[in-house]
Structure 1
């Protein structure tokens, strides 16, 4: 635009000088004054031409330099982006990029209490899962917890955070790699009505158990700050194209120092997977993750929720429940473990597809992991060694009682699995047998409402 204006001004000056010389020729004829005017005009015209030439050359050189800098800058940005990906550093996305990638957030993969996950495809063709965290205070806490926990860690069995989007107002977004086979719950619980998932074979279930143990061991022992996941459950364990386990969803995670034995935190988590010490408000540690992991092992073995409704009376007090770990322990003592496992595995392979040594090992590990006293539970590094057969596993002791979160006993047919916020909740604790009557008496000897129910 500036070049065009300069050319117009130059042409106007030259045209004006030529007209002036013609007028001077007519009025002054060939006098001395006329020749002086002609000489001055010619000098000015030459000066204008020289300025135009210099200006043109200057602009050509400037454009060449600009193009060179743009090209070098593009190469630097590509190199920087490549190095960020290699180093695993999350990329900051623009909201418009995520809108385009997810087709305006139409492909919903899953939804929780405070977040929704959408499938997307980036401009380079990479498939991603975009997690949208809603809510202001809770959303900010979950966003910070998740980024702090997962942004700097690299492990084959942990989900990879590719980037984030944090707008000044509105929801926050986390961009993860897309895991094609969904979450573990679709592969261990019968869900015919959903039309997806299936029955995971015994070999794959056992491998998933080892993968999850390795991921948690890495978080607990191999990071600069210990990372507590605090929401280990089948819904947060994903399966890749080879059915290897990927631990995801770090929205409730806590980072604690190497020298800290535990941390007091708000009681929030998922029904049926909360460790007793958390329910009793004694604080959490890596042993809380180990308890949750043990509960997941039971569900993988049985192909059912640990707490399930077996008699649905009209009166809420007449409802009865099954507690699967209690059943499995009873079958272990009777030497009939094969009767307690997911019957789809038995029917598919006639019982031959299940390695009974692996089954017994997995049951032992699960029972050790859910010991009521946290100090009796093994750490995750020991769990990995147990599952891989590097150490002999002693038979776990019988616990005096098994603590179960009564909030897992809601009206859902699946017997639990929902998220809950317990900030103002004082929990009720029960000891459950294989099937018990859900009508707990109260005790005035404790600040908590307790019931001691026998399974006999």
Structure 2
């Protein structure tokens, strides 16, 4: 634009000077004054012409150089993007890219207390799940926890964070790989699948493989990272199932990082009822043993195909409710030698192959994991060795089966924000009903539901 304006000015000056010479010739004839004016004008015309030519050549060279630099910059950006992708480092997305990928956030996959998840397709055809985190202080804390926990780790059984997007004063976005088969709860609890949410009855061998996958993921977080990572919200809703029916651990919104020399960290109680370790609810601090407790509760739910705590209604009177605690049922069946009766009856009725030795091993490991005393629980590395049959699994010591979780019973009187007290039972009123009252952000953030 500036070059065009300069050329117009130069041409105008030259034309003006030529007209001035003609007028001077007519009025002054061939006098001495005319030759002086003509000479000066011709000199100015030549100077303007030379300046215009030099300026044009300079700007042509500048444009060529800029074009070369832009081309090299694009190549560098492509190379940088490629290297980040190879290294697994999350990239920063523009908000418009996410709007286009999700069709303006139309395909809702799941929704929690402070986050919603949408399915999207990037410009290169990659399917993604975009987690939109709302809220100022709470949302910022979850965003930072999730990025800090998952951005720098890579494991086949951990969900991959592909990128992020932050809007000044607005929502924050995390972009994950899309996991097509939804979350584990749809595959072990009856009646959880819908048209938009894959599910069914997972076979025994796949359940056992999922148990190993989750154990390996948690073992990696606890033992193989520079800082120990506590997930702190291990439950079926946060375990995703990929196209090969392998487990992917997701949702790190409650995660904490621990130094190698730290034994416990103090944090607020924000997990999901029914999976919280006793020491957390007693405000004694949390450690990797808290994840192990939650993992043990998940193992029992995978075995039985039901929630660990259910309630049987005996009429309209709430006082006549009968609570059933599945870990206690499993322990009793183990003592009676009738462990197969604790297995998901859908698997038994289907006549599929159920390895009773695997059932016994899984039950033993689960009961070790849910010991009230954290020191008695094995590490996740030991759990992997037990499940893979590399070490013998001793029979676990007897436990009182005390569930320290007021978030299950006390909610009848005080709602979800009640302070925890020691209670005899915990968790859900109906194993067909998802967590309806939880202070976790707990949704299967990447599942197609």
TM-score, structure 2 as length reference: 0.90
8 Å contact from structure 1 (residues 159, 247) kept in 2? yes
RMSD: 1.9
8 Å contact from structure 2 (residues 402, 423) kept in 1? no
In the TM superposition, 1:242-281 aligns within 5 A as 242-281=244-283
Structure 1 residue matching 2:176: 3-state secondary structure: strand
Deviates more, 1:185-194 or 1:281-290: 185-194
Distance in 2 of aligned mates of 1:184 and 1:400:
28
8 Å contact from structure 2 (residues 219, 381) kept in 1? yes
| 1:15 aligned residue | 15
Higher relative contact order (CA 8 A, sep 6+): 2
8 Å contact from structure 1 (residues 267, 421) kept in 2? no
Distance in 2 of aligned mates of 1:430 and 1:2:
80
Pair 339,401 (structure 1): closer, same or farther in 2 beyond 3 Å: closer
| 2:327 aligned residue | 325
| 1:219 aligned residue | 221
8 Å contact from structure 2 (residues 405, 420) kept in 1? no
Per-residue CA deviation, residues 426-451 of structure 1 (Å, 9 max, x unaligned), is: 3232169xxxxxxxxxxxxxxxxxxx
| 2:357 aligned residue | 357
| 1:105 aligned residue | 105
Aligned length: 422
Distance in 2 of aligned mates of 1:222 and 1:389:
21
Per-residue CA deviation, residues 40-95 of structure 1 (Å, 9 max, x unaligned), is: 22222222221121111111111100100000001111111111112222212222
Distance in 1 of aligned mates of 2:139 and 2:397:
42
Per-residue CA deviation, residues 247-296 of structure 1 (Å, 9 max, x unaligned), is: 11111111111111111211111011011111222111111100000000
Match of 1:241 among 235, 240, 243: 243
Distance in 2 of aligned mates of 1:168 and 1:193:
38
Per-residue CA deviation, residues 348-389 of structure 1 (Å, 9 max, x unaligned), is: 2x1x41111111111110111111111111000000000000
Distance in 2 of aligned mates of 1:335 and 1:392:
19
8 Å contact from structure 2 (residues 328, 401) kept in 1? no
8 Å contact from structure 1 (residues 236, 247) kept in 2? yes
Distance in 2 of aligned mates of 1:237 and 1:431:
24
In structure 2, stretches of 5+ residues that fail to align are: 427-449
In the TM superposition, 1:305-320 aligns within 5 A as 305-320=307-322
| 1:443 aligned residue | none
| 2:201 aligned residue | 199
Normalized per residue, which structure has more strand? 1
Shift of 1:404: 4.8
1:38 matched to 2:38? The reply is yes
| 1:189 aligned residue | 189
1:70 matched to 2:64? The reply is no
In the TM superposition, 1:43-442 aligns within 5 A as 43-191=43-191, 194-195=194-195, 196-348=198-350, 350=351, 352-409=352-409, 425-430=419-424
In structure 1, stretches of 5+ residues that fail to align are: 413-419, 433-456
8 Å contact from structure 1 (residues 310, 322) kept in 2? yes
Shift of 1:332: 1.5
Distance in 2 of aligned mates of 1:94 and 1:227:
29
8 Å contact from structure 2 (residues 406, 423) kept in 1? yes
